[in-house]
Amino acid sequence: MLNVFRLSFTAYTIPDPLSANKYIGFANYVFLPYDPLFVRSLTVTGIFVVVALSLELILGFFLAYLVFSLPKFSYIYRVIFSLPIMIMPLVSAYLFYMLFASGTMGWINAYLSLFFKTQIAWLSYPWTALFVLIMEHVYRYSTFAFLIFFAGFTSIPKDILDASLMETVSEKQRIRYIYLPFLKPHIVTAAVLLLIDLLKVFDSIWIITGGGPERFTELLNYYIFKTSFQLYHVGYGSAMATLIIIFLIIVTILTIGRKMEV
């Protein structure tokens, strides 16, 4: 990590070994806002993170609430809902590629062809390709949020729950005044951990879209990889990587590092 930080101040490109010691100050950082691909990557990554994170938190909360409300067979539900997180990222990515591909390979298109005599080229258009990536991540990580929230639900003091049952408290009020306040630390923790993973996304892009179409799904981590290993501009890639690390440290300190009161 220290070496990445050091290289971010150099003009290091792999075809020119001597450039690893050619210091250029903050030039790599200054260039970032003028790089249209970086700006687009940052924007699309922002959209990806906001949409995926929201869906994962909402779905995770809903699943945890459902399982908590149905104590009978809750163990079975917990196992079933935990399965997606256990799948290897590559396997999950390939699964979604097989679902949404066109031509002979796509399962969804196979059924669309059979029943509706049509196909949708999900991965051939930028926004639909991004949608598939979001769905893949939500499929795997909403269960991660579920596990955190379920732990939160089970940690709510029983006397408070019993009191709310004795009072004429509606379910909506219970969610708003009891569950959500108690789950606040869990929501923040889940959000930060999911944010870290969302910014690290690579495998699914590699398998499903390859960064396309039109480079639209080259999210930040992928763009850094491409910059460093195909553009060979390691210095510039290091600058982007350093910024992400700093951002995540700040977010972690500001959220999990703070004392949170229920």
Contacting positions for other proteins (CB under 8 A): 1-3, 11, 13-17, 31, 90, 101-105, 119, 121-124, 129, 202-203, 206-207, 209-215, 226, 229-233, 249, 252-253, 257-259
In whole angstroms, how close is the CB of 219 to other proteins at the nearest point?
Answer: 14
Residue number, 146 or 236, with CB nearest to other proteins: 236
Residue number, 13 or 82, with CB nearest to other proteins: 13
Whether 217 and 122 have beta carbons less than 8 Å apart is answered as no
In whole angstroms, how close is the CB of 16 to other proteins at the nearest point?
Answer: 7
Tokens 């799948």 -> residue:
87
In whole angstroms, how close is the CB of 147 to other proteins at the nearest point?
Answer: 22
Residue number, 176 or 258, with CB nearest to other proteins: 258
Whether 209 and 94 have beta carbons less than 8 Å apart is answered as no
List the Cα angle 227/230/231 in 5-degree steps: 55
In whole angstroms, give the CA distance from residue 225 to residue 229. 6
In whole angstroms, give the CA distance from residue 262 to residue 244. 30
Q: What DSSP character marks residue 34?
A: G
DSSP helix/strand/coil, 13 = strand
Strands, DSSP E only, in the chain? none
Residue number, 74 or 102, with CB nearest to other proteins: 102
Cα separation of the two ends of the chain = 36
Residue number, 104 or 170, with CB nearest to other proteins: 104
